[in-house]
Amino acid sequence: MIWVLVMYVGQVTKDILKWPRPSSPPVVKLEKRVIAEFGMPSTHAMAATAISFTLLISTMDRYQDVLGGVLITALLVVLTYPAWTLIDCLDSASPLFPVCVIVVPFFLCYNYPVSDYYSPTRADTTTILAAGAGVAIGFWINHFFQLVSKPAESLPVIQNIPPLTTDMLVLGLTKFIVGIVLILLVRQLVQNLSLQVLYSWFKVVTRNKEARRRLEIEVPYKFVTYTSVGICATTFVPMLHRFLGLL
């Protein structure tokens, strides 16, 4: 949840500040898709700070952007830390949690700051918030309907790490393939269905690729698609693994 919050704040701040990225040349543009995005703050730095991974700096981020991203994330972590326990309790107990976790992110995405020209920032933000909402709902479903066993109060102490065997590798690979195939199928099915419904509702030509960038189409179809992906990954994939005897 903190990663979703951090990424949303970072993406919105980009389109509010509208600080341009470094000029090219001398900077080498490796990822052409994000050329239209603004640079400050660096969401690479914000994400890396939020999840405590090694900081990987894109060649299109200046040190000011990276520093700004780190500082904003640190501030967000400090401000939200007291509420983490409360959020965990709501996630597992409140029947209203799914409603809040859908309505609030969708409202934020639909009211995203308007830019002078199209950039993928709004679409990426919608994807992030929708995936986070889907994961949160998936965990809520698991807890609320008791689809998963309660975690043990204390974990056993592992004296020796078991050797990696062929059976373990095959099992892990099988679980990965089954899970990723189901997720891709759900993503494609929901995306196609949601686009067809929206195109029909707004009377848009199906082959018009520019129509996907319209606010009333882009935000709903991406939100529905990636919320479904999040729910699938956290609820239906484990259920399928259990059904196939892979757990």
**How far is 135 from 138, CA to CA, in rounded Å?**
5
C-alpha distance across the termini of the chain, in Å:
26
pLDDT at residue 88, as a whole number: 66
pLDDT at residue 144, as a whole number: 78
pLDDT at residue 54, as a whole number: 46
pLDDT at residue 56, as a whole number: 43
**How far is 41 from 62, CA to CA, in rounded Å?**
9
Domain boundaries of the chain, sorted by first residue: 2-93, 119-150+163-247
pLDDT at residue 71, as a whole number: 73
pLDDT at residue 192, as a whole number: 94
Tell me the two tokens of residue 154.
């204390």
Burial of 81 (0-12, 13-18, 19+ CB in 10 A): exposed
pLDDT at residue 188, as a whole number: 96
Q: For each of the chain's 247 residues, which pLDDT tens digit applies?
A: 666 666 666 667 666 666 666 666 665 555 655 555 656 666 665 665 555 444 444 444 455 555 666 676 677 777 777 777 766 666 666 778 888 889 999 999 999 888 777 778 888 889 989 999 999 899 888 887 777 656 555 556 666 777 888 888 999 999 999 999 999 999 999 999 999 999 999 988 877 778 888 989 999 999 999 999 999 999 999 999 999 998 7
**How far is 83 from 72, CA to CA, in rounded Å?**
18
pLDDT at residue 129, as a whole number: 92
CA proximity to 57, closest of 85, 23, 86, 21: 21
Inter-residue contact 58 to 30 (CB < 8 Å) = yes
**How far is 177 from 179, CA to CA, in rounded Å?**
5
Inter-residue contact 79 to 93 (CB < 8 Å) = no
CA proximity to 14, closest of 127, 110, 121, 107: 121
Give the pTM. Answer: 0.72
Inter-residue contact 197 to 225 (CB < 8 Å) = no
pLDDT at residue 40, as a whole number: 60
